[in-house]
Structure 1
Amino acid sequence: MKSLGKVGVLYGGTSAEREVSLMSGQGVYEALTSLGVDAHLFDTGRQSLSDLIAQQFDRVFIALHGRHGEDGSIQGALELMGIPYTGSGHQASSVAMDKIMTKRLWVQTGLRTPGFRVIRNRDDLQGLTPQLGLPLILKAPNEGSTLGLYRVEREEDLEAAYDEALQFDSVLLAEQFIQGRELTVAVLGGGSDVQVLPVIEIVAPDANYDYEHKYFSDETEYLCPAPLEAACTEAVQLLAKQAYLDVGCSGWGRVDIMLDSDNQPWLLEVNTSPGMTSHSLVPMAAKAVGISYAQLCLSLLQNASCKIGTSGSVADVSDAQE
């Protein structure tokens, strides 16, 4: 593995998802070193960009989640340094991290996503429930791991949920709630070379797939491949692939989808730096097609690159409607 040179595993960071990133990075580091890769952990929350330059990494594996790690910030810095990195480029990462922009893009390209409204202040809560119905979802559009996400069952609970979500973002996303089955689809590669992995169905206690049930609880069930009819599986995978490509993703990612009672899939979001913990879903989907955790890490690292100058698929969303 000497051909890969000195490899940095970027983890930790400063976002609300730091704890998960530390677990992801440790797992990736152990996998790569077990294969003989000269890998080194680098905590972007404790070490500076000048420290990163001084390390003289030949390439890096981004195991960061959330702000400043998944939002295009570190990707842009790596581009300036000329260091190849895993995952999507700075533009796709930035769009995908902002769930409002992602939904605007999908609306413009004709992909099915729940109805939504942007909440910039308390006055924007007026008329929300007649438009989106109840229950509805109120979320911080620049957070992940269900942080800053609230399900509002009653109109009288809306302002309290708004106040809670404001702790994570100053502008919020209100979204139509889709009753149904929770699915996720991992995608590898980019451009014309894309591999869509098996669909996973997530069955959480009381349908509450929150931070605890994502990363620490053993109560959540994961059905891989999801028990869907062949035609439904194909439709879900095709939608996930198109959603991933429309955002301009590359390297790898995970698309979250709700399947309603009519077996219609609805796009929720795309993650450009998914978790790599013991409970994470991309390694689970990869295992279902014979790709081990270590093999997955190595493949992603081997495909690390700088992305500026390459073609993307991010659509012009300037005229998209909310």
Structure 2
Amino acid sequence: MIAVLMGGNSAERDVSLNSGASIYKSLKNQNIDCFKFDWLGDNLNQLWAQNFDKAFIALHGRGGEDGTIQRQLEKRNIAYTGSNANASKQCMDKAKTKDIWKQHNLALSPWIVANIGQAIPEIDFPLPWAVKPILEGSSVGISKVEDMSQLKPALKLAFKYDDTVLIEKWIEGSEYTVSILNGKPLPVIQIKVDQGFYDYQSKYISDATQYLCPCGLSNADEKHLQEIALQAFNVMGAKTWGRVDFILDKNNTPYLLEINTVPGMTSHSLVPMAAKASGLSFDELVLAIVNG
């Protein structure tokens, strides 16, 4: 019996409910015993009262992607999909992720970390900057700062979600994403946004956002991106499945952005799209994650 864990109380609750519903439907299609569980943050006792062998974690963001639910399952020796508690916690923290990637000489844009109520450290890289909370996903709370007058409102927005914020050099370029499934990178997807950048609106609401697969890169460049993505995934201790996001600047130099250990599984989501391009149906993808 598989428990599909969904919902949560993060800023990504709605997306998680959609992902969970798609996964549940797929498991049912394959005659796999399963049930949906909407985690509200304080009702885990209701989950433990159920009889199940494995959890499919479809919880995005805080609580579901940061090691919290993983740790609770580990305590009870219950198997679950995806990365373990420690890796999940590291991957969710954008600053920690950058620190680890830097140790492995992976290409990153320069950054600093700012804490609420403290003076901002000196920023020694030029505008524009991206300002983002370190523990949110789905581009929640991100701003582009093009002149100093925009920094204060950008920090105010980011601090609404987190006490710690990342300020990094904004790389102008094209966005690409590489999904990883059971030790192998899937075909690269290029993300083309109608306007602005790939924010929450572009990800989940807009129908103008384009996803190109084939991604338009040469075979050599695509292979290079896949190799970096796999290394970035592995050095974080991530397991089974996930997604690594990049920006390629005008010289086609790749810069790592972030890693997702519980990516979306909705109709707009990128892992199912990449899996389809590699010949896997949605049902086959779900089964591969369950068995991973």
- What's the TM-score once normalised by structure 1's chain length? 0.88
Residues 114-129 of structure 1: matches in 2 within 5 Å? 114-121=109-116, 124-125=119-120, 127-128=122-123
What is the aligned-residue RMSD (CA, Å)?
1.2
Moved beyond 4 Å, runs of 4+: none
State the match for 1:52 in structure 2: 47
In 2, distance between residues paired with 1:17 and 1:127? 32
How much does 1:127 deviate? 3.6
Q: How many Å separate the matches in 1 of 2:112 and 2:57?
A: 32
Mapped partners of 2:281, 2:252: distance in 1: 31
Q: Answer whether contact 1:152 1:161 (CA < 8 A) is retained.
A: yes
The structure 2 residue matched to 1:23, chosen from 13, 18, 30, is 18
> Is 1:297 the equivalent of 2:282?
no
From 188, 193, 202, the equivalent of 2:191 is 202
Instruction: State the secondary structure of the residue aligned to 2:79.
Output: coil
**Aligned counterpart, 2:173:** 180
TM score, norm. by length of structure 2: 0.97
Q: Percent identity?
A: 46
Contact 1:137–1:174 under 8 Å retained in 2: yes
Q: Deviations over 1:181-236 (max 9, x none)?
A: 100000012xxxx1100110000112421111101211000001210012211111
Aligned partner of 1:151 in structure 2 is: 144
User: Aligned equivalents of 2:154 and 2:205: distance in 1?
Assistant: 24
**Count of aligned positions:** 292
Deviation at 1:109, TM superposition (A): 1.2
2:94 pairs with 1:105: no
Deviations 1:147-186 (A, max 9, x none): 0111111111111111111100111100111111100000
**Where do residues 1-322 of structure 1 align in structure 2 (5 Å cutoff)?**
6-45=1-40, 48-121=43-116, 124-125=119-120, 127-128=122-123, 131-189=124-182, 194-303=183-292
- Do the aligned residues in 1 keep the contact of 2:138 with 2:199 (CA within 8 Å)? yes
Instruction: Give the distance between the partners of 1:122 and 1:261, measured in 2 at CA.
Output: 37
Structure 2 counterpart of 1:73, one-letter code:
T
The answer to whether the 8 Å contact 1:53/1:81 transfers is: no
**Range that drifts further, 65-74 or 152-161:** 152-161
SS of residue paired to 1:125: coil
Q: CA deviation at 1:121?
A: 4.1
What secondary structure does 2:49 align onto? helix
Are residues 196 and 126 of structure 1, via their aligned partners in 2, closer, same or farther at CA, if it must alter by over 3 Å?
A: closer
User: C-alpha distance in 1, partners of 2:25/2:41?
Assistant: 20
Matched residue of 2:272: which SS?
helix
Rounded to whole Å, the distance in 2 between the matches of 1:46 and 1:76 is 14
Give the drift of 1:106: 0.6
Q: What is the CA-CA distance between 1:277 and the residue it aligns to?
A: 0.5
Counterpart CA distance in 2 for 1:262 and 1:12 is 40
- Cα deviation 1:82-116 (Å, max 9, x = unaligned): 11100100011000000000000011111111110
1:170 counterpart letter in structure 2: D
Between the aligned partners of 2:145 and 2:53, the Cα distance in structure 1 is 47
Q: 1:176 is matched by which residue type in structure 2?
A: K
Q: List gaps (5 residues or longer) in structure 2.
A: none
Q: Offset at 1:124? A: 3.8
Whichever residue aligns with residue 45 of structure 1, its letter is: L
- Say if 1:40 and 1:47 are closer, same or farther in 2 by CA, change over 3 A: farther
